[in-house]
Structure 1
């Protein structure tokens, strides 16, 4: 991964998914005809408590990770996945 924003959004997406697992009953309980709108409201509501994970520390961490990955690729070093 050579784009720090991809890692940041991956972290945000994981936080939102974790939040939505706590609201599973609510997500499945919307009546027919209101499911899309209800799920959209739920996603919007999930953004507020999850957004603070996108801070300067995370961006710097992802930028460093990308820089190290690019440097390793330039040196033809084997890539480590899952770290």
Structure 2
């Protein structure tokens, strides 16, 4: 990975998915006609909850990871998935 934003977004998505998994019943136990609005509210709460993971430490970690990947590519080292 050579773009730190991709890593940060991946962490954010994982946090949102974890929140949604914990609140799965909130998404299903709604009356007819309210499902779209309730899901929107749940996604808003999930995003607000997950944003706390987006901090300078995460950005620096992802930037460092990308810098190491670019340096390895310049040296001609083979790229491995998942590193």
Q: TM-score, normalised by structure 2?
A: 0.89
State the 1:33 CA deviation.
2.5
Q: CA deviation at 1:78?
A: 1.1
Deviation at 1:3, TM superposition (A): 1.1
Listed one character per residue, the Cα deviations across residues 14-68 of structure 1 (whole Å, up to 9, x for unaligned) are 0010000011111112233322221111010112221110011100000011111
| SS class of match (1:20) | helix
Return the alpha-carbon distance in structure 2 between the equivalents of residues 69 and 9 of structure 1.
Answer: 18
Q: Give 2:4's aligned residue.
A: 4
Structure 2 CA distance for aligned equivalents of residues 2 and 79 of structure 1: 11
The corresponding residue for 2:82 is 82
Q: How many residues align structurally?
A: 83
Distance between the aligned counterparts of 1:44 and 1:76, measured in 2? Answer: 43
The TM-score, its normalising length taken from structure 1, stands at: 0.89
Distance 1:31 1:67 in 2: 50
Q: CA deviation at 1:7?
A: 0.6
What is the Cα-based RMSD across aligned positions, in Å? 1.2
> Where does structure 2 lack aligned partners over 5 or more consecutive residues?
none
Moved over 4 A (4+): none
Unaligned runs of 5+ in 1: none
